Structure 1
Amino acid sequence: MESITAGERENTYRFLASLYLKPPSDFVIAMIKDGSILSAITCEEKGADSSFYSGLAEFVKNAAERPGLKDELETEHSALFVLPSGVLPHEAVYLDRDQRLGGRVTMNVRQFYETAGMEITDSCIEMPDHIGMELEFMGFLCKLEKEFWDKAAISSLQKCIAFQKVFLNEHLSKWAYQCCGKVIESSTSGFYKAIAHLTMEFMKSEEEYVSELYTKTGKEGEEVCETSA
């Protein structure tokens, strides 16, 4: 059961990461237009009180009649996440007193990735503390977790879950909510508003789930993922 859940969590993290890192692909645009993107969301995220699901459903309802949808979302993605007048989706902007990109906060995140074994290729143009990169890293950890469940590699599993818990507590959860709030305030379409709501709702469930999983599997391995302040 936990292995299956880890795979589902990986998919959600990577899906969200892709939407922050790049404009929606042709595949995602097609999913929006035919409505299949709605069925791709897990049942838990379709609750009656879900701001994400209701917002996305409304956006999808009108998407088929918008021939310029791809260009529209590409333009908004640039306005939100690329231009300096946008949201600036980097941890350093929210947690570094001087808001210095590439400084101490950014380097701490990179060090965390390297300690966990995630390699950042030279072709990657985003800084390590971009929200898309941090979500991608959590997806990477979920992939490892699934492999460790399947292999019953208990010690490695415990360390992997410890990495997840510490990274959420010390990095992603400290700033992503504020960043998503700015996306909701700044977005001109229902799509990115909905994605920001989904990110916040998913992270709330993740914080609870990972904490419970950490307690369940034991605390061994916590020391390997301590990060410098």
Structure 2
Amino acid sequence: MDQSELIQLMTEREELYKFQARAYRREVDQTLLDTIKNLEVQSDSSDMPEALRVIQASAANTDDPLTDFAVDYARIFLGAGIAKGVAAYPYESVYTSRDRLVMQDAYEAVMKIYRANGIGKLDADLYEDHIALELEFMSILCRRAIELAESGDTQALEENLDLQKSFLRDHLLNWTGEFFDSIRSCPGSNFYKGFASFTEAFLRMEKEFFEL
């Protein structure tokens, strides 16, 4: 892969990571909704385009998507209104700790990685192992990879790609399968179920890219 191809690939990955990070970070606003309506993805697999069609169809089949999806977001990711039911709490620690609690080993591990790479608090309202922040961290690494490729610093670029690979393997791929299953088990529209399938397919492509 030559430099221009690498930069193009990193740019595409950065944008997809940023898009998904925004979708999981907070409720849908009009800007995100407009992005969803106009988004197109090219993939060797049909899984991502098909998941995007589910998301777009769900957005088109409601008269008040901002309200409806805010209700979905609160129910699915915050457990709002649930006494006994299924929620998909978006923190790695919940899926990797024995007692399924937040702020456990995974939280400490990713926070150390962020700080070691010069990244401070990404969101005052979220713990560091939130799905949105883990995706955002990968988008930051993609941006840095572009800058390193452009500067010709091949050693630092190789280290960056190694960090992307290890973070994907040790964190994002370590828990999101169960997380996505939890989203699809929750009541509500197909909107976030589509996002679960979209991100699942995307991470599967990432796994193949890094030969994990």
Query: Normalised by the shorter chain, which TM-score bucket?
Result: 0.7 to 0.9
Residue in structure 1 matched with residue 71 of structure 2 by the alignment: 75
CA distance in 1, matches of 2:55, 2:26: 18
Summarize the Cα distance change of 1:41–1:181 in structure 2 as closer, same or farther, 3 Å threshold. farther
Deviations 1:75-126 (A, max 9, x none): 11111112365211111111111223122221111011112222215x5210
- Structure 2 CA distance for partners of 1:126 and 1:186, relative to 1, 3 Å: same
Structure 1 position 187, deviation (Å): 4.6
Structure 2 unaligned residues grouped into runs of 5+: none
12, 15, 19: which is aligned to 2:19?
15
Structure 1 counterpart of 2:135, one-letter code: L
Q: Assess, with a 3 A threshold, how the Cα gap between structure 1 residues 48 and 173 changes in structure 2: closer, same or farther.
A: closer
Partner residue of 1:52? 51
Question: Could you tell me whether the CA contact under 8 Å between 1:46 and 1:53 is conserved in 2?
Answer: no
Other-structure match for 2:126: 126
- Secondary structure of 2:89's match? coil
Q: Deviations over 1:102-157 (max 9, x none)?
A: 22221111011112222215x52100111111111111111111111111111110
Is structure 2 residue 104 aligned with structure 1 residue 103? Answer: yes
| Number of residue pairs aligned between Structure 1 and Structure 2 | 203
Using the aligned pairs only, state the percent identity: 23
Structure 1 residues 46-195: aligned runs within 5 Å? 47=46, 51-63=50-62, 66=63, 68-83=64-79, 85=82, 86-121=87-122, 124-195=124-195
8 A contact 1:89–1:130 mirrored in 2: yes
Instruction: Provide the C-alpha distance between the structure 1 equivalents of 2:48 and 2:27, rounded to a whole number of angstroms.
Output: 27
CA contact (8 A) 2:14 2:140 kept: yes
Instruction: Describe the shift of the 1:181–1:50 C-alpha distance in structure 2 as closer, same or farther (beyond 3 A).
Output: farther
Paired with 1:54 and 1:24, the residues of 2 have a C-alpha distance of: 17
Moved more, 54-63 or 5-14: 54-63
Tell me the equivalent position of 1:211.
Answer: 211
Shift of 1:53: 3.1
Q: Secondary structure at the match of 2:210?
A: helix
Quote the residue 1:200 is aligned against. 200
Distance in 1 between residues matched to 2:142 and 2:13, nearest whole Å: 7
- 2:17–2:138 Cα contact (<8 Å) kept: yes
Moved over 3 A (4+): 48-51
Q: Is the Cα–Cα contact under 8 Å of residues 76 and 88 in structure 2 kept in the other structure?
A: yes
Match of 2:10 among 6, 20, 36: 6
Tell me the CA shift for residue 192 of structure 1: 0.7
Structure 1 residues 108 and 200: alpha-carbon distance in aligned structure 2, compared to 1, 3 A threshold: same
Query: Secondary structure at 2:185's aligned position in 1?
Result: helix
